[in-house]
Amino acid sequence: MCLAVPGRITDISENSDPLLRKGRVDFSGIVKEISLAYVPEAQIGDYVIVHAGFALSLLDPGEAEAGLQAFRELAGFKDEQ
């Protein structure tokens, strides 16, 4: 089973080798350094879907927010049990 999580790019560290391009991605307050090798067109402020430390694709902001809201609801469900 795979889990991919939406996040917003807050910073990009440029590199002359596009395969080494990385960015800081915010997942609702948790910020991680993520490889942007698969999304060379990504810019600061874009939403990406991330799996295993790699941004796999860009997301529409509305889709990203819907995914983040679903995770927030799941977290709330767990707390209610």
Mean per-residue pLDDT for 2-14?
88
% of the chain with per-residue pLDDT over 90: 54
Position 81 scores a pLDDT of: 53
Q: Where are the domains of the chain?
A: 5-80
Range list of β-strands (E), the chain: 5-13, 22-27, 30-35, 47-51, 54-59
Cα–Cα distance for residue pair 43/1, rounded to 1 Å: 29
Q: What is the pLDDT of residues 22-31, one digit of tens each?
A: 999 998 889 9
| Statement: the pTM of the whole predicted model exceeds 0.75 | yes
Lowest model confidence (mean pLDDT) among 3-7, 23-27, 41-45, 53-57: 3-7
- The dotted CATH code for 5-80 is 2.30.30.140
Top pLDDT among 50 and 78 is at 50
